[in-house]
């Protein structure tokens, strides 16, 4: 996990809880793009964008 995401999850309890509640495949995708995630807002935006794209379902 990139340092930025790791620091976010360590410093922001709500972001950590949000991340931990995500399905495993979404958490894996977040980790792959950890360098792009600098805040709780960017984490939520990434997840929303990812889950709107059907490619994660194999469609």
Q: How far apart, in whole angstroms, are the C-alpha atoms of residue 36 and residue 42?
A: 8
Q: Is the pLDDT of residue 22 over 50?
A: yes
| Count of C-beta atoms within a 10 Å radius of residue 46 | 17
Distance CA 58, CA 10 (A): 32
- State yes or no: pLDDT of 54 exceeds 70: no
Question: pLDDT digit string (tens) for 33-42?
Answer: 999 899 999 9
In this prediction the pTM is 0.82
């Amino acid at each position: 996990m990139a340092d930025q995401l790791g620091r976010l999850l360590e410093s922001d309890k709500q972001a950590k809880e949000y991340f931990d509640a995500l399905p495993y495949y979404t958490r894996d995708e977040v980790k792959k793009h950890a360098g792009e995630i600098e805040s709780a807002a960017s984490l939520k935006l990434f997840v929303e964008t990812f889950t709107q794209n059907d490619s994660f379902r194999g469609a």
